[in-house]
Amino acid sequence: MRVGDVSTTNYVDTFIAVAPDSRALAATEPPLGKAPSIARRTFERIRHAPYRFTSDDVIFGVWADRNDVPETEREAARAQFFSKGQPCLRCSDLPKKYGWGVHCDALGRVALVAVESEAYAAFARGEGVAKVVPAMRSAR
């Protein structure tokens, strides 16, 4: 989605439900591995600070960390990063593979919601959110 000259991945007052073709019956943490995957880094960033970051903050932060962008260069790098479209959290393995819904509050800040939880069921029914969207399917 574009806002002026800048693209954004932010959703507002929206719940991103687990993908329709996901096999996840319960939310699981992405594996650690030798080098943390994008899913693991995204999971850690949101899990440790629910409703602190927007999707843009999370996606750029993960990219910047993976690419060793120095803190002093992040503002310019972020402008460049969002000068073209970026995949949003609907494309993330968290709701596609690992069983995590993503709640985006009225300010666009995100939190993870386990697929087996009561909160997930309520959000998936549209309770407390303006819109419910599914994560992208893994298969076509």
Q: Give the residue extent of every domain in the chain.
A: 2-134
Q: To which residue do tokens 């998936």 refer?
A: 124
| pLDDT per position as a tens digit, 1-49 | 544 456 899 999 999 999 999 999 999 999 988 889 999 999 999 999 9
- On whether the CB atoms of residues 51 and 109 are closer than 8 A, the answer is yes
pTM: 0.91
d(CA 108, CA 116): 23
